[in-house]
Structure formats: structure tokens, C-alpha cells
Amino acid sequence: MALKILHTGGRKKIRDSVKFELENGADTPQFSYGKFPITYAVNFQGLSLSVDQEKGMYHYRRALGNWKTEKNVSMSNGSLLIHPVEPLNLPDNVTDFLEIGFDPIMIEPEGRCVVFVTMPIEIGVFIESESGETEVLDIVSYIYPKYSMYGNSSRGVITRHHKSSVYYYSPNVKNYQSGLLKLEIENRTTGWVNIGRVVLYQKGLFLYFDEHITAATATVVITSPDVASVTGIDYPIREDMTPASRVYVPRKITPFYNIPGMLNDTVFTMDMGLI
């Protein structure tokens, strides 16, 4: 049974009402994320990466199209982690914010709904020492990033931009290119509201994965027709999913936004329109 839209008034908890069932097609190739021996190799959909040992040194090599890299690693032993990571690292640290535009949804007064949208992902390669300490070795992506501005140049934020359809069930996606973002949307106003985009802060983007999908969850609380607070939730969309290693590094000052007061820990307040 597919996930159906929840569109109800009142204050019933959304998470308690959602039933999720995977609907990935068998013909879609799926990338294998997880923890592997340090000497490991991948050859998948144009991506090749490998770690081998030569003369006491580990050598990492990766190629995807014209993008290639090689690194030497000195360690006694350990593991290789290949996880989906936040799509905010390539080609450089341009922004800490992900914006997803989608087909607008009309939400009734004091209503709630749950939908899925797609989001880009990047693939992170980590090395883990025997003591359990991890370090980023490489990040690669099948999708070239696009950027936009939420707001304007005098009062706005640069975002990694992605356009998605809206789904009321789990869509079939290529897990090496895209992930799912479950949006739990609540309209706290007494009128009808339209929403067609969300902006998330990297610190609040918690990815989980299994053998089929990568996914994250966010709540969207609408307090006026043009204002909503978006909060990433550290919670998997279904049981038995593995939390992905994170690339996010706390910053004392982030140069990527100029909206003082609109960012509070993992909460970003969109006050410059919801469409």
C-alpha cells in the first residue's frame, strides 16, 4: 500500500499516523552504502574507486567521468565507510543551505499534511581507524550543483537549489543521485496557505539510509501566509535505517547568509515567502 496524503485539521501527531512502504522498482540499480574492509573497490554506473596497499601505504583512487583523484593514507588498519552525505560540499563550500522547490500545495486552516520530495545527495568516502576515529577521504557526486538566492542580495541567503515533484508515497529514485525528504507540514494560521518551497540548514539535515533509499525528515510550521519555520529532525522515516556519517562542521561565523535572527540552531525561519 502506498503512502497517502494526510490532510486533517486539529493537532493530531503526524508521525503516529504515517505508514510508509517502499516502492522502489526492481529495475533501478541501487548503490551499496555501508562499512567495508579498508582494501575495497567499487565499479558502479561510471564511478570507480578503490583502496589498495603497496609497500606499507594505502592508496586511494577514484574516477567519475573527467573527475579523478588519488590520495595516500598511512594507517595500520581500519575500515572504509561509504555513506550518503549532505549535498552542500561540492564543488566547494558555497553555502550551508539547501532549498527545494516543489509543486505548490494548498493547506487548509489549522491543517496538516505529510509529503515526500526528492533532494540531491553526495557520496562521502570516509576512513575509520581501529580506534573508531573517522575522517573524510573524498566526496563525489553524480549531479552538478545549481545555486539560487532565497530573498535578495541585501537580505537573503545563497542556497543549493533543487526542483522536485510532490509525492504522497515513496517514489522510485536512484539512491546514488537522489534521496527523499519527508516534510511534515503544519498550518497554524486560520486561513488557507500555499507553500511551494523549503529551505533547510545543513546542521539540521540528518540522513539515514538502507539498502534501497537515503532519506531525511523535516517539520515545517507555517505561522503566516509568508512565514514558516523549517526544522530538520534526527529521525529515520522507517525502522532499521542506518544514520549516515556527517560532513557538517560547526562554524563560529557563516558567511553564507545575511539574515540575523533567522537561524536558530537547526531551525531556519523563512520570512520572505513560501512560493
Q: How far apart are CA 152 and CA 124, in angstroms?
A: 32
Residue 131 belongs to some domain of the structure: no
Q: How far apart are CA 137 and CA 206, in angstroms?
A: 20
Are residues 97 and 256 in contact, defined by beta-carbon separation less than 8 angstroms?
yes
Residue in the structure block whose three cell numbers are 542506518: 242
Mean pLDDT for the stretch of residues 52-65: 93
Residue 98, class by beta-carbon neighbours within 10 Å (0-12 exposed, 13-18 middle, 19+ buried)?
Answer: buried
| pLDDT tens by residue, 192-215 | 999 999 999 999 999 999 999 999
77 or 58, greater pLDDT: 58
Cα 86 → chain centroid = 5
Residue 203, class by beta-carbon neighbours within 10 Å (0-12 exposed, 13-18 middle, 19+ buried)?
Answer: buried
Residue 65 belongs to some domain of the structure: no
pTM of the model: 0.87
pLDDT > 90 fraction of the chain, expressed in percent and rounded: 74
What is the domain count for the chain? Answer: 1
Q: Which of 78, 38, 36, 76 is nearest to 56 (CA)?
A: 76
Are residues 42 and 60 in contact, defined by beta-carbon separation less than 8 angstroms?
no
Q: How far apart are CA 214 and CA 174, in angstroms?
A: 10
Mean predicted lDDT score pLDDT of the chain: 87
185 or 15, greater pLDDT: 185
Residue 58 belongs to some domain of the structure: no
Residue 72 belongs to some domain of the structure: no
Lowest mean pLDDT segment, chosen from 5-9, 102-106, 150-154, 166-170: 5-9
3-state secondary structure the chain: CCCCCCCEECCCCCHHHCCCCCCCCCCCCCCCCEEEECCCEEEECCEEEEEEEECCEEEEEEEECCEEEEEEECCCCEEEEEEEECCCCCCCCCCCEEEEEEEEEEECCCEEEEEEEEEECEEEEEEEECCCCEEEEEEECCCCCEEEEEECCCCEEEEEEEEECCECCCCCCCCCCEEEEEEEEEECCCCCEEEEEEEEEHHHCCCEECCCCEEEEEEEEEEECCEEEEEEECCCCCCCCEECCCCCCCCCCCCCECCCCCEECCEEEECCCCC
Residue 172 belongs to some domain of the structure: yes
pLDDT of residue 19: 40
Q: How far apart are CA 159 and CA 147, in angstroms?
A: 6
pLDDT > 70 fraction of the chain, expressed in percent and rounded: 86
98 or 92, greater pLDDT: 98
| pLDDT tens by residue, 14-43 | 444 334 444 445 567 899 999 999 999 999
Are residues 110 and 93 in contact, defined by beta-carbon separation less than 8 angstroms?
no
Q: How confident is the model at residue 233 (pLDDT cuts 50, 70, 90)?
A: very high
Give the domain extent around 172: 8-31+86-121+141-270
Mean pLDDT for the stretch of residues 114-135: 96
Lowest mean pLDDT segment, chosen from 27-31, 99-103, 160-164, 218-222: 27-31
pLDDT of residue 258: 57
Residue 79 belongs to some domain of the structure: no
Residue 231 belongs to some domain of the structure: yes
Mean pLDDT for the stretch of residues 87-113: 94
Residue 223 belongs to some domain of the structure: yes
pLDDT of residue 89: 93
